[in-house]
């Protein structure tokens, strides 16, 4: 890890020194460092309830009870040392760097040591290069009180990546700030666990914003493209899906993954010793993502953010056969200072729908472009997951998390990833303060679950999951913060369970 850290610093050229307007003077930037430690304990009547473990970047175990210890250090981009104000320099802020490291140890029936963050990042003007693991979400959606972005929600352990990005919305000069863009281009590694090992991630995201900071309404739009490609398997057999135990790799197929071009367009001009029958009729790898639109209303005392994420998993969205599917949400933020006994700061209302999938069949006709089978795949049997956790919305769960009495999904005589990807979810999330000091969060989700098209549930399976969390200062423990969370699952998708979590956290800046 130390060698990786030093190599990352060398790669980014992190001298922590940049030139200001006066070329004869160097400006030293002080990098703000944040350190935290946390110790927690949880116990449940069954498995860890849904909202205690979901969208926690894969660090909360499913089994209960568990004892957890966390520690982390993060250095954000440096501050200009030539000014005493604790704000970034706008004139001299040409280059900076930062890093992050978080360690998690869970003591339970299957104890584990996890590394959810370990990265080095460097920034030149608006362009950022990141190497390592970092907590991220992808898409236009609320990432705190909502269900999470559909395609990349923060539910799984962060994946190691090399990523080049415009991390913030960057204005196009001639538009005088009216039009700006942000985006990222990344290469990642899925690792050596699962039915398919040593596969890669290609990730592209591009989002635009129309509207200056002074405008009362701003509009957003964009898309993301995720591809799992290459890899090998000793479990999957058959020349119709895999050749010599390997999926197509190498730079040529990296370009095929990035462009998303179908090999079927090449006709007979294709190497049948490298590409299986499945590859020759489709694209290389598992392609999926969302197309997002949103708009924001900015008032003096509040803001409203409306968003919609439309799903694509094959050609269904192009032909609009699955247009009903997607994540819809509205977020309210209170811009007023905290006052009174109770204060609501954020409220999120969402509706997630994935029942359509373009219909139950897939054919050559436009109206038959269905059977999308979200987050499952005929070659990448582990589905859209990393280390056993769904990368996208947690409401499409791994089959092993659901009630064992429910039907399972199989592909090629192997257990598929999720047995429930046709869902309808209503969700409410609220956060705020009590008496200025005590913070709270509430999440409530009601879902109707229908299984998959190939293995539907015998009837609608209803599930209710809720979470209440309180945060309070412990001044008598030298500034530590206490956390108490209570969560429950009631329904037939998961075994009924109620759990509680106690945590103590200390921050240093």
Instruction: Report the SS3 class of residue 5.
Output: helix
Residue from 118, 139, 153 nearest 390 by CA: 153
Q: Is the dihedral of CA 99, 154, 208, 372 positive or negative?
A: positive
pLDDT value for 366: 60
Alpha-helical (H) ranges within 13-97 are: 50-53
**Beta strands at 79-80 and 33-44: parallel, antiparallel or unpaired:** unpaired
Domains belonging to the chain, first-starting first, are 2-247+285-508 (2.40.160.130)
Residue 397 has pLDDT above 90, yes or no: yes
Task: Report the Cα–Cα distance between both ends of the chain, in Å, rounded.
Answer: 24
Phi–psi pair at 130, nearest 5 degrees: -125, 135
User: Residue 121 in contact with residue 128, Cβ under 8 Å?
Assistant: yes
Q: 351-367: string of b/e by CB count within 10 Å (b at 16+)?
A: ebbbebbbbeebeeeee
Find how far residue 120's CA is from the centre of its chain. 19
Q: 393-423: string of b/e by CB count within 10 Å (b at 16+)?
A: bbbbbbbebbeeebbebebeeeebbbbbbbb
Distance CA 476, CA 356 (A): 55
What is the tens place of the pLDDT at every residue in 230-273?
999 999 988 889 999 999 999 999 999 999 988 887 776 788 88
What is the tens place of the pLDDT at every residue in 50-84?
999 999 999 999 999 999 999 999 999 875 443 33
Q: Is the dihedral of CA 195, 198, 200, 201 positive or negative?
A: positive
Q: DSSP assignment of 176-235, as one string? A: TTSEEEEEEEEEEEEES-SSSBSEEEEEEEEEEEES-TT-SEEEEEEEEEEEEE--B-SS
What 8-state DSSP symbol labels residue 48? P
Distance CA 220, CA 472 (A): 36
pTM summary value = 0.89
Q: DSSP assignment of 95-133, as one string? A: EEEEEEEEEEEEESTT-EEEEEEEEEEEEETTEEEEEEE
Residue 2 has pLDDT above 90, yes or no: no
Distance CA 470, CA 447 (A): 25
What is the tens place of the pLDDT at every residue in 342-367?
999 999 999 999 999 988 777 666 66
Phi–psi pair at 465, nearest 5 degrees: -135, 135
Instruction: Report the SS3 class of residue 349.
Output: strand
Token digits for 266?
Answer: 């090449």
Q: DSSP assignment of 143-172, as one string? A: SSSSS--SSB-S-SPPPPEEEEEEEEEEE-
User: Residue 266 in contact with residue 279, Cβ under 8 Å?
Assistant: no
User: Residue 440 in contact with residue 101, Cβ under 8 Å?
Assistant: no
Helix or strand run (H / E) with residue 33: strand 33-44
pLDDT value for 6: 34
What is the tens place of the pLDDT at every residue in 162-192?
999 998 999 998 999 999 999 999 999 999 9
Q: Find the farthest-apart pair of alpha carbons in the chain and give their distance in angstroms, rounded.
A: 76
Range in 106-110, 303-307, 407-411 with the lowest mean pLDDT? 407-411
Token digits for 202?
Answer: 């290609």
Token digits for 236?
Answer: 């999957």
Residues shown for the chain: 509
Distance CA 204, CA 139 (A): 11
pLDDT value for 84: 37
Helix or strand run (H / E) with residue 37: strand 33-44
Confidence of residue 475 (pLDDT cuts 50, 70, 90): confident
pLDDT value for 28: 40
pLDDT value for 15: 34
Report the percent of the chain where pLDDT is more than 70. Answer: 89
Find how far residue 320's CA is from the centre of its chain. 25
Residue from 505, 504, 500, 502 nearest 48 by CA: 500
């Amino acid at each position: 890890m130390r060698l990786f850290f030093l190599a990352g610093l060398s790669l980014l050229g992190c001298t922590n020194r940049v030139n200001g307007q006066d070329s004869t003077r160097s400006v030293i930037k002080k990098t703000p460092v944040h350190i935290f430690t946390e110790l927690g304990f949880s116990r449940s009547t069954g498995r860890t309830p849904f909202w205690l473990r979901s969208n926690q970047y894969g660090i909360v175990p499913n089994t209960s009870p568990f004892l957890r210890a966390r520690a982390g250090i993060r250095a954000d981009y440096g501050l200009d040392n030539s000014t005493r104000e604790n704000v970034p320099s706008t004139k001299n802020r040409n280059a900076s760097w930062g890093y992050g490291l978080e360690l998690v140890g869970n003591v339970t029936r299957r104890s584990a040591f996890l590394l959810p963050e370990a990265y080095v990042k460097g920034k030149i003007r608006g362009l950022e290069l990141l190497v390592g693991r970092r907590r991220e979400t992808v898409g236009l959606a609320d990432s705190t009180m909502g269900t999470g972005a559909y395609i990349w929600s923060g539910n799984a352990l962060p994946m190691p990546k090399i990523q080049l990005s415009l991390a913030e919305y960057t204005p196009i000069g001639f538009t005088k700030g009216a039009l700006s863009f942000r985006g990222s281009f990344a290469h990642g590694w899925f690792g050596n666990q699962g039915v398919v090992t040593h596969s890669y991630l290609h990730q592209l995201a591009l989002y635009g914003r129309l509207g200056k900071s002074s405008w009362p309404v701003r509009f957003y739009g964009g898309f993301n493209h995720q591809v799992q490609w290459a890899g090998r398997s000793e479990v999957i057999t058959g020349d119709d899906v895999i050749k010599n135990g390997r999926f197509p790799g190498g730079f040529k197929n990296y370009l095929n993954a990035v462009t998303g071009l179908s090999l079927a367009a090449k006709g007979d001009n294709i190497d049948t010793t490298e590409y299986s029958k499945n590859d020759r009729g489709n694209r290389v790898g598992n392609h999926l993502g969302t197309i997002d639109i949103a708009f924001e209303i900015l008032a003096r005392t509040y803001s409203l953010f409306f968003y919609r994420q439309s799903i694509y998993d094959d050609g269904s969205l192009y032909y609009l056969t699955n247009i009903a599917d997607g994540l819809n949400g509205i977020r309210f933020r209170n811009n007023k200072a905290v006052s009174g006994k109770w204060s609501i700061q954020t409220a999120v209302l969402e509706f997630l729908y994935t029942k359509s999938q373009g219909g139950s069949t897939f054919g050559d006709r436009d109206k038959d472009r269905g059977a999308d089978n979200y987050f499952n795949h005929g070659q990448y049997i582990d589905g859209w997951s990393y280390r056993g956790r769904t990368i996208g919305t947690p409401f499409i769960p791994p089959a092993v998390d659901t009630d064992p009495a429910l039907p399972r999904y199989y592909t090629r005589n192997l257990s598929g990833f999720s047995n429930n990807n046709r869902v309808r979810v209503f969700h409410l999330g609220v956060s705020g303060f009590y008496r200025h000091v005590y913070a709270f969060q509430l999440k409530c989700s009601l879902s109707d679950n229908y299984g998959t098209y190939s293995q539907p549930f015998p009837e609608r399976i209803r599930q209710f999951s809720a979470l209440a969390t309180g945060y309070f200062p412990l001044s008598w423990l030298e500034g530590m913060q206490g956390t108490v969370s209570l969560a429950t699952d009631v329904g037939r998708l998961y075994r009924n369970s109620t759990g509680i979590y106690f945590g103590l956290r200390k921050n240093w800046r």
